[in-house]
A and B are shown apart, each in its own frame.
Chain A
């Protein structure tokens, strides 16, 4: 188990390096630079000094070399913009993003999985049709539009929830962004769950269970759920990646102080170390979640063993 963990962790290194290289190469050819975004009309002398100070004049391979060398010591460099260490910057942003992502996933699971189950138990029925129309609709909405509509409805018209911000860090601030972000994984989970349950319901071992004289409820409880979980977990793992992407939009819309909004700002302002660092952290997060999910597979599915 431990050696499995270590091996998996080692396996992520090439991915991480590739990400670093990719982002580095991309942003070494990106037009515009931090210096030009500092203000509309900056002092050209200061700008030149700034470029020099930030090493923007060095050749790419040199910059990359220094970056990787520093990275090896866990140093993500200093932000061009704030001159703070990127690690500190990200550390401050990580918790809000984690809150948001996990809250959305929780919303998605709590709503999506039961919905999928209910739909699958009577395929073609009214509940099924309604649930699936809902699910497909959830997938088809532009996130920021949905967020705005929710904001408009629940904050302004109904006055139930605050419309923006991290507030005092309290849960009520989390609800609208989490729901906005959670709608599409919810929809996907509902569909996956439904499909998984339907598929499993046709499996031979379900027929065996029925031949034992088991009621349908028991069949589902004893034999279908756990099998479905494997498929549901897979979808969840992949959805975490999509969530990290969509978080960029949602965080920006709701002024949520997470990595996503940091990332957009950094991209737009050419704060390359911050971009690099944020993407790296997002990737690491995705890899970590999927590692976790792999471990969970082992718990759920005995066919998978970590030798």
Chain B
């Protein structure tokens, strides 16, 4: 009952058909950069579809025409492999997410920034929903580790890390835990504390080759390109830790 495989009418990489990459929203700005350089190197066309990892997972199971899946977590690629929708051998971590605690309205160094969490000055702090988003899950671990399991401030949950950033950007919340990649992209005003990996389990983001593209050479080339050291350097520069530890 391999839906993706049987129902696909456009199996493999035929000339002119773009490679379809499903990308978790949080990685999509970086993915665009990667794709641009990949396209330049291969003359192939790659289209990016971004949504939350949860949506993409559900869609892939319903036969979505994606060739490669760049998830924001490890759970969903693993599940896809287990359920027979993805090629097991291709399932690799392409990046690790990093958390940043950001207070745009206050200037100061990392430690003053971190102290703000305890100061009581903050009434609200934004974070990604721990039940839904990997960054949220990591944030919760971090808060626990910081002894802030029942903080004085109200936690505002974003549907994902993108929305969490939007909360702060729009001026709705004064501070929040966002992805380092986002902080890189922003104007980096105010103060920020880069949360160390000791506070939470790694936010491993895995990429898999989906069944419909198991014979697609271009897809394999894209995955290779993703894991290549040149790309990995780019990913690191965008605010992630490197893939395979």
A and B form one complex: no
A binding-site residues for B, Cβ under 8 Å:
none
B binding-site residues for A, Cβ under 8 Å:
none
